Amino acid sequence: MQILIVISNLMLPLVFVLILSYGISKGVKVYDAFIEGAKDGMRCAVDIMPTLIGLMMAVGILRASGALDIFSRIISPITDLIHYPSELVPLTLMRLVSSSASTGILLDLFKQYGPDSGIGRLVSVMMSCTETVFYTMSVYFMSVKITKTRYTLPGALIANFAGVLASVFICKIIWGQIR
């Protein structure tokens, strides 16, 4: 499984080489295109700034009040059964509903435990394989006025659940104990 760490280190350089050589071979002014695209990134970051301030503030209040800790303690007998850290339950649930609110909780966890802790790594992996199921479904299906979504929701939840299990599994194998 150490191959995954090798992939981590090689991925970005590989993407660079691939995209740049393809761009040059097609006669694209690669540097100008890069600058143009980087501007989009700036705009994107400025756009999410107000949402992030609002939601990190709300999560900050929740954390400081002790509410998150109390919730974790209540739920821990259940999560211990499947060896899942109870601190991650708020994030896991919020992830299904709102992408910005779950980002707020993610950053709060980074602040609390550090991104290189067992918990920090697990949430990083988890966030890359899960999706805001409820939000996405309502946007897409509402856009074409579909009310009977049939087996979409169970299918998506199973996929997300499999992703969470895979994250716990792979983090334990590569980095050892999560807590």
Partner 1 sequence: MLNYLWVGMIFIGILTAAFTGRMEYVTNGAIDSAKEAVNTIIIMVGVLSMWTGLMKIAEKSGLIDYLSNKLKPFLKFLFPDVPPNHKAMKYIATNVIANVLGLGWAATPAGLMAMKELQKLNPEKDRASRAMCMFMVFNMSSLQLVSVNIIAYRSSFNSANPSEIIGPGLFATLVSTAAGIIVIKIIEMRREKCRY
Cβ 154 to partner 1 shortest distance, Å: 8
Cα(1)–Cα(170) distance, rounded to whole angstroms?
Answer: 8
d(CA 56, CA 101): 8
Q: How far apart are the first and last CA of the chain?
A: 20
CA distance 142 to 79: 35
Q: Which one-letter amino acid corresponds to residue 33?
A: A
When binding is defined by CB under 8 A, the residue of 45, 74, 78, 93 that contacts partner 1 is 45
Determine if 119 is a binding residue for partner 1 (CB under 8 A): no
Only one of the segments 72-80, 81-89, 137-145 lies at the binding site for partner 1 (rule: CB under 8 A); that segment is 137-145
Q: At what angle do helices 133-143 and 89-97 cross, to 10 degrees?
A: 10
CA 45 – CA 85 distance, rounded (Å): 31
Select from 78, 93, 155, 179 the one that contacts partner 1 (CB under 8 A): 155
Residue placing its CB nearer to partner 1 in the complex, 148 or 177 = 148
Task: Decide if residue 131 touches partner 1 (CB under 8 A).
Answer: yes
Amino acid at 84: Y
Q: Which residue has the tokens 């800790």?
A: 69
Which listed residue (73, 80, 91, 126) binds partner 1 by CB under 8 A?
A: 126
The binder of partner 1 chosen from 91, 119, 136, 177 (CB under 8 A): 136
Which x/- pattern, by CB under 8 A, does the window 74-103 give for partner 1? -----------------------xx-xx-x
C-beta of residue 73 within 8 angstroms of C-beta of residue 86: yes
Among 89, 91, 119, 125, binds partner 1 (CB under 8 A): 125
Considering the complex, what minimum distance in angstroms separates the CB of residue 81 from partner 1?
22
**Residue 42 lies near partner 1 (rule: CB under 8 A):** yes
